Amino acid sequence: MTAFTVLIPARHASTRLPGKMLAEVGGVPLIVRTAQQALRSGAAQVVVATDHADIEQVVRDAGLPVLRTREDHPSGTDRLAEAADLLGLPDEALIVNVQGDEPLLPPVLIQQVARALADTPEAAIATLCHPIHSATDFFNPNVVKVSFDQRGRALTFSRAPLPYARDAFAQQRDALPEGLPAYRHIGIYGYRAHFLRAYRQLQACPLEQFEALEQLRALWHGYVIQVAIAADAPPAGVDTAEDLERVRQWLTSQPVPDNMPG
């Protein structure tokens, strides 16, 4: 498989759970647990990119690579671009963005998104999705939907029910019609380094602003996003104190791998 780099942006200032990157899970800080999990993907390197001295220190103490980035980035994508520059990655380098609050992200999904990008030279971005089977999820605006063409190229992303089965939903909306190609977007991305460098110059578009979906900016400006289908959704990340406790309980119930990196 083509070599790829995992970059993990880690801000200290979280709106819903401040300081969560330093919260202990399974005996180590959350950000360290996430990086250790990402190392199991077979990435050529896993690097944390952070704006905070405390996060930088705990990652270094764990023996893992970390970069100190600026504090004024408007998005995680901008932080990734700075990190790619600091690492001196060439334009065609493959980068997988793993969020720092996803310590349970299956390594196979990291591998899958990297492979989708490597296998699609015309794509600047790759991402994942999985089938939606529940009408509740389908009509939930917090569940982002994606539609793609026969080659797996993204057509659009939306919080609205997509695609909308006009005739079937005119009759009832408590179940999805058989065969409806409804897919939930999984928020993991692979990028070519040249896109991250170009992204900083791309103007926001109306679709992105109304939907509150950053990836629509790339489609608006003509970039190809390759979408691969995963069998299942990954475990949720840590956004709240309840999420943090859920992850702690899950890790407590699992055997510790003998080959856990770190």
pLDDT, residue 110, reads: 96
Cα–Cα distance measured from residue 80 to residue 16, given in angstroms and rounded to the nearest whole number: 22
**62, two tokens:** 């764990």
Q: Of 10, 71, 2, 69, whose CA–CA distance to 35 is shortest?
A: 10
Of 88, 105, 122, which residue is a domain's last? 105
Q: How far apart are CA 24 and CA 11, in angstroms?
A: 16
SS3 for 128-187 is EEEECCCHHHHCCCCCCEEEECCCCEEEEEECCCCCCCHHHHHHCCCCCCCCCCCEEEEE
Residues 70 and 53 in one domain: yes
> Does residue 244 contact residue 17 with C-beta atoms inside 8 Å?
yes
Evaluate whether residue 244 is within a structural domain. no
Burial of 30 (0-12, 13-18, 19+ CB in 10 A): buried
The answer to whether residue 73 sits within a structural domain is yes
pLDDT recorded at residue 237: 80
Is there a single domain that holds both residue 14 and residue 114? no
Task: Find the helix packing angle between 30-39 and 107-118, rounded to 10°.
Answer: 60
pLDDT value of position 240: 83
**135 within a domain of the structure (yes/no):** yes
Total count of domains within the chain? 2
Asked if residue 243 belongs to a domain, the reply is no
- Between CA 62 and CA 166 the distance in angstroms is 54
Per-residue confidence (pLDDT) for residue 1, from 0 to 100: 63
Which pTM was predicted?
A: 0.89
Per-residue pLDDT of the chain (262 residues; tens, 9 = 90+): 679 999 999 888 776 777 888 988 888 899 999 999 999 999 999 999 998 999 999 999 999 999 999 888 777 788 899 999 999 999 999 999 999 889 999 999 999 999 999 999 999 999 999 999 999 999 999 999 999 999 999 999 999 999 999 999 999 999 999 999 999 999 999 999 999 999 989 999 999 999 999 999 999 999 999 999 998 788 888 878 888 888 888 887 765 554 454 4
Q: Which domain holds residue 227?
A: 106-186+194-234
Where do we find the tokens 């079937």? 168
Tokens at 137, concatenated:
């999820």
| Cα gap 155→226, rounded to integer Å | 10
Picking from 36, 70, 105, the residue at the C-terminal end of a domain is 105
Query: In angstroms, rounded to a whole number, what is the distance separating the alpha carbons of residues 133 and 33?
Result: 31
pLDDT for 258 equals 45
Contact predicate 8/81, CB 8 Å: no
Task: Assign residue 202 the CATH number of its domain.
Answer: 3.90.550.10
User: In this structure, are 111 and 97 located in the same domain?
Assistant: no
Spatial distance between the Cα atoms of 162 and 160, rounded to a whole number of angstroms:
6
Q: Are residues 30 and 2 in the same domain?
A: yes
CA angle 46, 185, 149 (to 5 degrees): 110
